[in-house]
Structure 1
């Protein structure tokens, strides 16, 4: 039975400034062609022969998503982002790089997770999500116990989850919930493991703005 009360939104506005004409055109032409299915689906059916399937939740302007997809054309990338200006920006990156291995969900990532089968992903990225810093808004944060459990469900054994934030309280919050999630194991052995950007990390313009209250922290977990 469908719950009469959908989960609280973990994101703010759906749109801000007017989308540029070229990007608006891509919303009408490219997005329908690469939109992730709106019903339960097997990711590999979207790209037969894909070596792996990676998911980025909250891809912002799409810089990280497009850069990773360009480096790994053998991997199917699924990006989830509700902010329409971000989706439009990502479509421009996808179009300019002529990427054929990206699919987009322009909505709440939790709806997408619910449509994925168990153990269907090799990697998940959650990079610099909305921190909702005020205590009364913490219930809106994406990383809740139930979301962490869903992430563990869709990851294959050996699959990896990366969470990054530059808000100290949100890092602590997320670490507490991820450590408590059965099937997820933190890979860090020393402080440099979370203080130093991973070798395969792609720094975006948003990250460079340093809008948080601490240096970026990177929490890598593996599905056991």
Structure 2
């Protein structure tokens, strides 16, 4: 039987499957340099089992050394949105999770080019980070053009399922904003069905991007191929669902 406390934090989460690629084409020499020289200093401590074997909760203030608001981007792809938000809002701290090492290397190059210092990178599954964050520690979260897993039998692999959304709801503060961008109509359908059930209120669903949006490669590909982007905004409910 699980010893999960009422808050929903489980210090001993079950083993879980990971779907998707860890690495793609061979990294360029410069990208290998980014990984060896930059990644270690940007990784939040206490996320991996090796770094935190008893899976105890971490202190969010330790990530950036102060109590600034924390934003979370799940699956940052090549990192352009994440770096854009960090540059636009230097007073906050952005934590990005991405298991695809090629994307991590691309992000590190963009961080160097932009000179932003308010970014932290977990090169792995976002669930590993959410396992050890305390309740209500994240002010804003982003899910930008996630893997659509288009086949019906694979829909359970999407991020917008209880396995991911319930931990996200736990770590988000009441009133916190969760943004989702996708060009896949069925992903929109599942998002609108699943996210409110996890403890979020729908604020808007529109083809118009947010005012502080930067067009990413995924949005540009969708437009080239004739698909309509959807930009969905939720707010963490002020009270737990019953």
Q: Same fold (TM over 0.5)?
A: yes
**For 1:94-125, what per-residue CA distance to the aligned partner results, in whole angstroms no more than 9, with x for missing partners?**
11112111000001111111111100011000
Partner of 1:187: 203
Report the alpha carbon displacement of residue 214 of structure 1 after superposing the two structures with TM. 3.5
Partner of 1:55: 72
Report the alpha carbon displacement of residue 50 of structure 1 after superposing the two structures with TM. 4.8
State TM-score, norm by structure 2.
Answer: 0.84
Partner of 2:8: none
The alpha-carbon distance between structure 1 residues 213 and 129, as it changes in their structure 2 partners (threshold 3 A), is: farther
Partner of 1:9: 18
From 31, 43, 52, the counterpart of 2:39: 31
Partner of 2:240: none
1:200 and 2:212 are equivalent in the alignment: yes
Structure 2 gaps of 5+ residues are 3-11, 238-242
Report the alpha carbon displacement of residue 59 of structure 1 after superposing the two structures with TM. 0.2
Give the Cα–Cα distance (whole angstroms) in 1 for the partners of residues 67 and 83 of structure 2: 17
Partner of 1:223: 236
From 178, 198, 221, the counterpart of 1:209: 221
Report the alpha carbon displacement of residue 213 of structure 1 after superposing the two structures with TM. 7.3
Partner of 2:206: helix, strand, or coil? helix
Report the alpha carbon displacement of residue 137 of structure 1 after superposing the two structures with TM. 1.1
From 162, 165, 172, the counterpart of 2:182: 165
User: Mean Cα displacement is larger for which, 141-150 or 114-123?
Assistant: 141-150
1:95 and 2:103 are equivalent in the alignment: no
Question: What is the RMSD computed on CA atoms of the aligned residues?
Answer: 1.8
Partner of 1:42: 59
Q: How many residues of Structure 1 are paired with residues of Structure 2 in the alignment?
A: 217
Structure 1 gaps of 5+ residues are none
Partner of 2:192: 175
Partner of 2:135: helix, strand, or coil? coil
**For 1:120-162, what per-residue CA distance to the aligned partner results, in whole angstroms no more than 9, with x for missing partners?**
0110000111010001111211211131111111111111101
